[in-house]
Chain A
């Protein structure tokens, strides 16, 4: 990926005021994790004292925690001392031209229909053409600036908007939330910050791609989105292109605050390297994503298409605090070969007449294991809260597994909670029917699976939806013998 060292240079070249001694010259933190690692990262980013303290508090808490084992995923124990927790983004492009790119990745790019310029950007190729996209970014930033929308890297926000960060950081996902949230809070590298002022409707889909100065976000990303009263934003995370990363462990946090009458739509396409057919390599993706509907009639909608990673552990959730607030979760999770996914959502109803909807489509092929895990909690005071959940599992082949773990806790008698679950196989009858109309078995499976995921794809912004369909086709490749 193309990177920009400007911020980092500014940060590291200015005088450091907080009395910390370490090897600031080095680009990488030494392997392992102790308090000095946390101090190193904070110093590298020239962070204010309060943030260092915040990180240290999280780190000390993390030391008291045990790695969670309740998820339905299996992997060798992670050695947390064998990880480099900070490495400066590399400025130099890794390749001189696309010809040097791994042919397999190149082929996937082509199948996804990614433009040449975009391919070069993703592959980290240095060419003049990329400058075009930089100017595009600048135009976007100007448009957003006129509306008072802030969209920048997390590090920038720490320096430019400390009050907002201080107020909201950890307000939705506190460092005490879970093992990986604590770890992220201690060592997070960078991420995105987004602020939509009162009454503003963000005129474009905000994509991490258009974030100026986006350095390599690294393995411990942190995103914070704040939508003030009556505002609207649609945020896109990720990219359908295959992402390779030398870091095996990823533990990101996303926090969303939606105030009265505000709506935040958050769409993810996750396509990290899943490992090879035998389960070698691949990213461990342990993410904590949560939003809070602070005010009345606030709305948060999560849509995710998860096709990558060796292990996915992820439960984008909504706390429905305001009365009449709405939480939505639309998910497609595909696992192939040896992939494992344990994903779902939590809908915590606190306010009156709050509403949530959960549509989860799990697709398992190969020898993969795919679990839906979801919690719907209706608090005592959540009068007339409503939830509808639909969890469907689709099996392709007979060596994979689909599991559903729904948890429902209802504390108020006026609540209405519905849960529907189905498990089906891509039928031979369906495939034969398609065959008889001239459609090959592979295309038939794509057609059937896409139809199966339609409700979720419909929630994605148009462009993303088209890409997601293609991505699905690639993820399913070789799933039928």
Chain B
């Protein structure tokens, strides 16, 4: 489904990704871990198509298409979803209105008729349960005045509404207390259906207790330097990253 080959990218002239390789098959959950500044969020931004990130080399194939050649909105319509680390506030635009616009844009790109309000409300009601979201939250302006936990829940709620093929979670666990972490993880797990794939970017092993990955990768200096199963995450939790850095130093 997703094949990243030798991806190199920079931001403001500084090279962050140095030849990253990753393959994600349908239904798989890949966790990406790594020390600060290793390029985790850059990877998320590059995949979503943020303009400030300059791709300097490599390829990304998504469902057989050249992802890097697509505009951010086309990537989203094709099924790439990014749960933002810092969700953006849009004052005066209700969550419901925002989502309805988004859902119908995606439908339009797939030659489907726009969803009518009744149907939309019905689906919204169902999906809200996934993240234990209050009805009032759908009428509030997008992320405005939301607590950190509410913002992250809202991201997962949007993901549930948009039903992406590939979901990228960029440090969704940051700033969450244990209850919010459980709610968010339950929401994500409910969306695992054997076809939908996930890239879960996180600092902490804790999240992976809830969202159990198929693979764990360690990103360091813009490259995946070690891959394994969920046990790797436990090892990292226990030993930190220094041993990996040493391994890399020796290998180089």
A437 touches B (CB below 8 Å): yes
Taking CB atoms, residues of chain A closer than 8 Å to B71 are 435
Taking CB atoms, residues of chain B closer than 8 Å to A453 are 92
A448 touches B (CB below 8 Å): yes
A451–B93 CA distance with the chains assembled, in angstroms: 5
Contacts known (A435-B76, A437-B162, A438-B106); A454 close to B50, Cβ less than 8 A: no
A447–B92 CA distance with the chains assembled, in angstroms: 9
Contacts known (A432-B51, A433-B84, A447-B98); A439 close to B73, Cβ less than 8 A: yes
A-B residue pair count with CB separations less than 8 angstroms? 76
A433–B72 CA distance with the chains assembled, in angstroms: 9
A208 touches B (CB below 8 Å): no
B38 touches A (CB below 8 Å): no
Contacts known (A439-B102, A440-B73); A452 close to B92, Cβ less than 8 A: yes
Q: Is the CB of B88 within 8 A of A430?
A: yes
Taking CB atoms, residues of chain B closer than 8 Å to A443 are 101, 105
Instruction: For A392, give the chain B residue with the smallest CB separation.
Output: B91
B59 touches A (CB below 8 Å): no
Taking CB atoms, residues of chain B closer than 8 Å to A452 are 91-92
B158 touches A (CB below 8 Å): yes
Instruction: For A437, give the chain B residue with the smallest CB separation.
Output: B102
Instruction: For B98, give the chain A residue with the smallest CB separation.
Output: A447
A438–B50 CA distance with the chains assembled, in angstroms: 13
Instruction: For B159, give the chain A residue with the smallest CB separation.
Output: A437
Contacts known (A447-B98, A448-B93); A433 close to B49, Cβ less than 8 A: no
Q: Bin chain A's interface residue count.
A: 20 to 34
A454–B144 CA distance with the chains assembled, in angstroms: 14
Q: Is the CB of A437 within 8 A of B90?
A: no
Taking CB atoms, residues of chain A closer than 8 Å to B49 are 435-436
Q: Which of A438, A448, A450 contacts B76 (CB 8 A)?
A: A438
Instruction: Give 1 or 0 for each of A413-444: 1 = CB within 8 Å of chain B CB.
Output: 00000000000000111101111111111010
Q: Which of B82, B91, B141 contacts A436 (CB 8 A)?
A: B82
Q: Bin chain B's interface residue count.
A: 20 to 34
Which of A447, A453, A454: most chain B CB closer than 10 A?
A447
A457–B109 CA distance with the chains assembled, in angstroms: 30
Shortest C-beta distance, A41 to chain B (Å), equals 46
Q: Which of A433, A440, A448, A455 contacts B87 (CB 8 A)?
A: A433
Which of A430, A437, A454: most chain B CB closer than 10 A?
A437
Q: Is the CB of A438 within 8 A of B73?
A: yes
Taking CB atoms, residues of chain B closer than 8 Å to A447 are 90, 93, 97-98, 101
A120–B48 CA distance with the chains assembled, in angstroms: 47
A479–B8 CA distance with the chains assembled, in angstroms: 33
Q: Is the CB of A433 within 8 A of B90?
A: yes
Which of A429, A438, A451: most chain B CB closer than 10 A?
A438
Taking CB atoms, residues of chain B closer than 8 Å to A454 are 92-93
A435–B106 CA distance with the chains assembled, in angstroms: 11
Contacts known (A448-B90, A451-B141, A452-B92); A439 close to B50, Cβ less than 8 A: no
Which of A430, A435, A454, A455: most chain B CB closer than 10 A?
A435
Q: Is the CB of B73 within 8 A of A451?
A: no
Which of B82, B87, B90: most chain A CB closer than 10 A?
B90
Taking CB atoms, residues of chain B closer than 8 Å to A455 are 92
Taking CB atoms, residues of chain A closer than 8 Å to B105 are 437-440, 443
Instruction: Give 1 or 0 for each of B69-111: 1 = CB within 8 Å of chain A CB.
Output: 0011101110001101001111111000111011001100100
Instruction: For A455, give the chain B residue with the smallest CB separation.
Output: B92
* 20 interchain pairs, CB-CB under 8 A: A430-B89, A430-B90, A432-B48, A432-B51, A434-B90, A436-B49, A436-B76, A436-B82, A437-B98, A437-B102, A437-B105, A438-B77, A438-B102, A438-B109, A438-B162, A440-B73, A443-B105, A450-B93, A451-B93, A453-B92
Having A437-B98, A438-B106, A453-B92, one finds 19 other A-B pairs with CB under 8 Å, namely: A427-B88, A432-B88, A433-B84, A433-B87, A434-B90, A435-B72, A436-B73, A436-B82, A437-B99, A437-B105, A437-B158, A438-B76, A439-B101, A439-B102, A440-B73, A440-B105, A447-B93, A451-B90, A454-B93
